[in-house]
Amino acid sequence: MRVLVLVVACLVAVGLGVGVSRWQSDDPPPTGGKDDGRASEHVGYTLTEVRIPENLGGVTATAALDGERVLVGTGFGNVYSLDLSEGGKGALRRITALVGEVRSIEVSADGGSIAVLNRAPGLRYPGEDTLRVMDPSAPAVVKVVDGGRPAGGPVTDFPLDGSHGKGALSPDGRLFVNGSFDLTLLDIATGERRLLERGPLKDGRRTGYEDWAFTANGLVRAISEQGVDTWDVRSGERVGETVECGCNSYRVSLTEDGDFAAVATAEGRSVVLDLTAGRPLADKTVTRGEEIPGSAVVGGGKRVAVAAAERLVVWDVEHRRTLWSHTFPGYRPTDVRAVPNSGSFLVSVVEDPEAGDRRTAPANSSPLATKWWLATPAP
């Protein structure tokens, strides 16, 4: 059982020194293949490591409020706001403390609400259990007030089925949706829940939804390996047909506004779906014959950031060309998450002894097996 918690608590400053590692990276795009032609526009990104002191439990989840402020969840159940700006110098503030490891953090499209998913050690989730409504191992919604800084107050709990996935918040933070096969809409103010109509079976089977998003015009979307389904928030009824990739989907994600979807295939292709038009928009072979572990549409649908084998790639949707790529010596990219309302994104990397000499990793980086970096467009 997981619980959705509305948190409003005073922001507690943490008096700890936090270093900030940066890479000013502008590696030239790879060449040599027909899919790797150089675009007329060449961009660069600044990479800043999302890093906190090791004694806080290590980074287990991240989400960005903007191109400078990142929320960090730890293995000890704490959630911090980390200022990565030049002036902020890595200032760290604790938002809340829950029991168990923070598994995910979701930010609403307007940046005004944050959903935090925790799991207590040893706790099993056989299904909904209202007797555990006050269990602190729960998703938490944290309102952002006081000039845009996370702040807080009393806690309200909502029991949820822990098998339904992490979910998403509506743009105004008033609704929460989650569900792998049966989607549920939760009204945070009233606690009312509505079950959304299931999507159709395809070839006699159905795969679970992996990502969710609300649109600005009152729709909610969910994506699985089989495609994207859409519902009307007010009526709860399905809208239109499933938007399919027509490819061997491996990893899928939605933009925070629900307008685009990124699909990564098991053969190294990266595909963008235009969900407003209801069709594939562009695709590109990023790595040949290898699975892509993660991708995200960034910059309002203009670019795609891809965790491809041993490198991070950004390609242009209009021209289908690589704009930028970067390698992490001794590490391999595993996931990419777009930062709302910006061209920035978060990328996670995992230590890979076979990828190269670990001693060439960036200076002052933490020794954790998994690391997160914030990539912001270079000026």
- Residue pLDDT, tens place only, 154-206: 445 566 655 566 788 888 878 888 888 888 888 877 888 899 887 666 677 77
How many angstroms separate the Cα of 292 from the Cα of each of 145, 219, 249, 271, 311?
38, 29, 10, 11, 11
Stated as kind and residue range, the H or E segment containing 143 is strand 140-145
Domain of 353, in residue numbers = 19-51+248-379
**Has residue 294 got a pLDDT over 70?**
yes
**Which pLDDT score is estimated for 313?**
94
Residue 291 placed within a domain: yes
How many Å apart are CA 183 and CA 185, to the nearest integer?
A: 7
Window from 15-24, 81-90, 247-256 with minimum mean pLDDT: 15-24
What mean pLDDT, rounded, does the chain reach?
74
Residue 70 placed within a domain: no
How many Å apart are CA 298 and CA 296, to the nearest integer?
A: 6
Q: What's the rounded mean pLDDT across residues 336-348? A: 88
**Which pLDDT score is estimated for 199?**
67
**Which pLDDT score is estimated for 85?**
81
* Residue 30: strand, helix, or coil: coil
Residue 367 placed within a domain: yes
- State pTM to two decimals: 0.76
Q: What percent of the chain has pLDDT over 90?
A: 26
Do 111 and 341 form a contact (C-beta atoms < 8 A)? Answer: yes
300: left (phi over 0), alpha (psi -120 to 50) or beta: left
**Which pLDDT score is estimated for 330?**
87
Q: What percent of the chain has pLDDT over 70?
A: 69
Residue 33 placed within a domain: yes
Residue 379 placed within a domain: yes
Residue 224 placed within a domain: no
Residue 341 placed within a domain: yes
Q: Residues with Cβ < 8 Å from 223, sequence gap 6 or more?
A: 209, 210, 211, 212, 229, 252, 253, 254, 261
3-state SS string over 331-372? EEEEEEEECCCCCCEEEEEEECHHHCCHHHCCCCCCCCCEEE
Domain total in the chain: 1
Q: What's the rounded mean pLDDT across residues 288-300? A: 88
How many Å apart are CA 298 and CA 344, to the nearest integer?
A: 7
- φ, ψ for residue 313, nearest 5 deg: -125, 140
Residue 279 placed within a domain: yes
Q: pLDDT tens-digit profile of 205-263?
A: 778 899 999 999 999 999 998 899 999 999 999 999 999 988 888 899 999 899 999 99
**Which pLDDT score is estimated for 366?**
44
How many Å apart are CA 59 and CA 338, to the nearest integer?
A: 18
Q: pLDDT tens-digit profile of 111-158?
A: 777 777 776 555 444 333 221 222 223 345 555 444 444 444 444 556
**Which pLDDT score is estimated for 23?**
43
**Has residue 367 got a pLDDT over 50?**
no
Beta bridge partners of 269: 285
